[in-house]
Structure 1
Amino acid sequence: MTAKANIMPIISKIYCSSSQVMLVVRKRPHVVNGGGFVVTNCSQKVVFKIEGCGVLGTKGELLVRDGDGDPLVLIRRKGGLVQALSIHRKWKGYAYNYEGFHKSVFSLKEPNSSCLVRNNAIRISTETTGSNKAWDFEIKGYFPDRDCSIVDSIGNVIAQIGVKKEIEELMAKKDLYHIEVKPGIDQAFVVGIIATLDHIYGESTHC
């Protein structure tokens, strides 16, 4: 008998599955720079839509919508002199409710460097786990290679980004790749992190 997965909602428990989920990221075709991407499930149904600054008209801002187009998470890069002088650039994710985007659910720190090298850790803190740690998750590997994972503070992989070999041979791997989300993990949260990484590395959400 397999152990029941611990449900870990960060955006919402409706995006936490009791089994592993495979999601596919597809860059939106024929859009202006910063148009974003869509995320489908194994049935090729769109489950998330990510809008970048080319759609929103605001730099350093991303929006994750559900498959019906309703807003889920607004992600903003923090600005100002304090951020400019800091060793890290900070992104904040806000969940949507009936009052708008008010509830901060996660923050992500990227190294404040002119070039993101492979060794620099990108770390994520959440507001919902009740943890007193300095960070809850970090990125292992290198996102532009589509070979990385999101791991928790004790080293467990919660999501893996990769490319199937047959897909890699057919088309540019930047345009189509998959995310394996472990049981109990909030898929909307994982997609929000992927959207932020996409913007950090100057890809489909970046203007």
Structure 2
Amino acid sequence: MDNNIPVVSKLFCSGTPTMLMIRRRPIVVNGGGFVVTDLNHNVVFVVDGCGILGSKSELMVKDGEGEPILFISRKMGRKDLTGGKDFYHVEVQAGYDQAFIIGVMAILDNINRESTRC
């Protein structure tokens, strides 16, 4: 019996282990971010860095077709209440799993050696 439950969608699941390659982009390309490809160099996910949407405090995660999955925005405004750069708003599009979003945020945080650094 198959006990696997898709986190986001069955479209993003494979019956076998899948190796994904993550490549950082320079800041001049869509504000930085990174591109995730499979071993055949097919784009699976894209993360556009800050500044691509006209705001220097937003990240956008897209699927391989370029469809937005989520936006990560730094909370702007009353820094004394939010703790400065430690508070973000995340808008999860309909049909996508919130646990996946938190996983993405944890990876980004770890890459930047923030609160999840090892």
TM over 0.5: yes
How many Å separate the matches in 2 of 1:34 and 1:201? 19
> Match of 1:4?
2
Point out which structure has higher relative CO (alpha carbons under 8 A, 6+ apart): 1
Q: Spell out the pairing of 1:102-121 with structure 2 (5 A cutoff).
A: 106=98
Larger Rg: 1
Residue 82 in structure 1 maps to residue 81 in structure 2? yes
Instruction: Give the deviation of 1:74 after TM superposition.
Output: 1.0
Give the 3 Å change call, closer, same or farther, for CA 189–45 of structure 1 in structure 2. farther
Q: Spell out the pairing of 1:116-131 with structure 2 (5 A cutoff).
A: 126=99
Structure with the higher fraction of residues in strand conformation:
1
Number of aligned residues: 112
Residue 194 in structure 1 maps to residue 103 in structure 2? no
What is the RMSD computed on CA atoms of the aligned residues? 3.5
Residue 43 in structure 1 maps to residue 40 in structure 2? yes
Contact 1:94 1:104 in 2 (8 A): no
Give TM-score scaled by structure 1 length.
Answer: 0.42
Residue 22 in structure 1 maps to residue 9 in structure 2? no
SS of residue matched to 1:56: coil
Contact 2:73 2:89 in 1 (8 A): yes
Q: Spell out the pairing of 1:127-146 with structure 2 (5 A cutoff).
A: none
Unaligned runs of 5+ in 1: 98-102, 107-125, 127-185, 203-207
Aligned residues with identical type, % of pairs: 38
Corresponding letter in the other structure for 1:6: N
SS of residue matched to 1:194: helix
SS of residue matched to 2:65: coil
Unaligned runs of 5+ in 2: none
